[in-house]
Amino acid sequence: MDEARSLELWLAGVHFADLTEAQATTRLIDAVTAWGESQGWRVYRRAPSVFPLPAPLKGHSVLDVACARSGAQPIAVEVDRLDRQRTVDKLLAEAAAGRLAIWVRWGAGPFRPPPLPVHLVTREAARTRGLWHTVTDRPAPQHSAPAEAAEAGELPIGSVTQDNSNRPNTEQSPDD
């Protein structure tokens, strides 16, 4: 199984509700970090990128997550809700430098695929009252059995003089 598909399956198990955009992004970055660690790789958050910062800034941009793998190419991961050209350019530069470039996009979609060799991983989420929650592909659980045809019948009616000794006394006594 390739790494992008493995990460997509991992992120399918990530659920959140009532998070701001920044909190949801952080939750997904945490999940990417946990995925890399579960593979036995060295994982770095805010790792230096080969991509330069935009002018007038000096230096290089950072990656959300980078994974160093023994005997395999490193992995560069960016996590975004929005479709940003700068992220695409950064990941293309990482791929040109020999890294496996993965773009984790989350939100309501649609998610435009990036140019190859950048791999796209998605996690669907929706916004309600300004807060984000994950969306599942599973149908809602069935809460009751399907209705069956029933025959109408007479209900037994108890005797009017039936013993009501267990019924609470609701009549007021003269002393009240």
Q: What is the pLDDT of residues 55-89, one digit of tens each?
A: 888 888 999 999 999 999 999 999 999 999 999 99
Q: In whole angstroms, what is the distance from residue 76 CA to residue 65 CA?
A: 6
- Find all residues with CB under 8 Å of 38, minimum gap 6, and list them: 10
CATH number, domain containing residue 109: 3.40.1350
The pLDDT of residue 53 is 85
- Our count of domains for the chain comes to 1
Please give the single-letter amino acid code of residue 25. T
The residue range of the domain holding 104 is 16-134
| DSSP assignment letter at 79 | E
- Flag whether 80 is in a domain: yes
The pLDDT of residue 29 is 97
The pLDDT of residue 171 is 59
Q: In whole angstroms, what is the distance from residue 26 CA to residue 19 CA?
A: 10
- Flag whether 75 is in a domain: yes
- Flag whether 9 is in a domain: no
Sheet holding 119-128, edge to edge: 42-52, 60-68, 75-80, 100-107, 119-128, 131-134
- Flag whether 124 is in a domain: yes
- Flag whether 175 is in a domain: no
| DSSP assignment letter at 82 | S
- Flag whether 56 is in a domain: yes
The pLDDT of residue 164 is 56
Question: What percentage of the chain carries pLDDT values higher than 70?
Answer: 82
Q: In whole angstroms, what is the distance from residue 144 CA to residue 126 CA?
A: 27
- Flag whether 2 is in a domain: no
- Flag whether 119 is in a domain: yes
| Tokens 């990417």 belong to residue | 32
Q: What is the pLDDT of residues 23-54, one digit of tens each?
A: 999 999 999 999 999 999 999 999 999 998 88
Query: What is the SS3 assignment for 44?
Result: strand
